[in-house]
Amino acid sequence: MSRKILLVDDDKNIHLAIKTIIQKKRNNFIEMARNLFDESSDQMSEILVDHVDSAFQGEEGLELVKNAIEQGDPYTIIFLDMRMPPGWDGTRTAAEIRKVDSDVMLVFLTAYSDKNPEEIYAEVGSVEKIFYLKKPFDPSEIETIVTSLTYSYEQERKLRLLAMTDGLTGLNNRRHFMSLLEQELRKSKRYKRTLSILLTDIDHFKQFNDSYGHQLGDDVLRQVSQSSIQSLRESDINGRYGGEEFIFILPETDLQQAAIVAEKLRKNIEQLEIPWKKSMLSVSVSIGVSQFQPDKEDTMEQLIGRADRALYHAKDSGRNQVCASDS
């Protein structure tokens, strides 16, 4: 994930000034971060800003924020001017942004005649992650606030990632996966693009635990999950659905294409060798495939239900196979 800043201000000179400070002071940021946080330069290089975008009205800024979130690459910091006639002012823009991104750091560029913090908090609806920078500002102030807020954002992001990840397999946990699936379904409906899901279950998994112990069972889960990730595209989304079940989203993929991907996944897992003492154990999976239909009154529950029925059919037909269902 890149570290991006968005400038929302109707003054082109402000954009030029802040971009110049950020883009030409990279070494200053590393040195300042080391002094502030007592960490190595290698660690501090992770908080350098990769890109700075510009918007000259609040409405334009909101669209950029929405697009960034849809692409899975949200902004780290947003600088907001308080007054941007004839459109939204800074507080209205911040309130709209907060509806779609609760994690971004908001920095208001204010003059002494602008609203006081209590008024801003009331209009935005939150006091968290809101900061202020008085105009005119000094370059060192920009350096300090960008360094400290980017560092804080990265630390929070790492904590959020831990909360969203299954500790054993490294896949998205079920709660986070379901949130991602909701996002993908909204995009599918908005752009009239299909997607498919794969629901995968390890065959006879209970036997691994009963015959060889839970440590071996955990190793099976890890290896199957890693083989699944390697078998899928970078754009596909993974999740541990529960127990020995995994679930995957394949954006812009119809049922027939998804079945091909599922068969590739099945074959790769079938070739796994799980070490056990002086021997190797094999593992297989059954996979149910279903396609979302954005032009119809389709729902997430119906989509998963079709995949679940397809999975049941695959297991009932002998396991270690793929079954696709569009009904």
Distances (CA, A) of 135 to 28, 138, 230, 266: 22, 9, 50, 60
Residue-wise DSSP of 21-86 = HHHH-HHHHHHHHHHHH---HHHHGGGS--EEEEESSHHHHHHHHHHHHHTT---SEEEEES--TT
- Which structure tokens are listed for 18? 């802040």
CA 263, 308, 203, 315 dihedral sign is: negative
Residue-wise DSSP of 114-146 = S--HHHHHHHHT--TTEEEEESS--HHHHHHHH
The C-alpha angle 134, 136, 137, rounded to 5 degrees, equals 70
- Which structure tokens are listed for 159? 């904590």
Phi, psi angle pair for 283, to nearest 5°: -145, 150
The helix (run of H) or strand (run of E) holding residue 61 is helix 58-70
Residues catalogued as catalytic: 244
Q: Which amino acid is at 81?
A: D
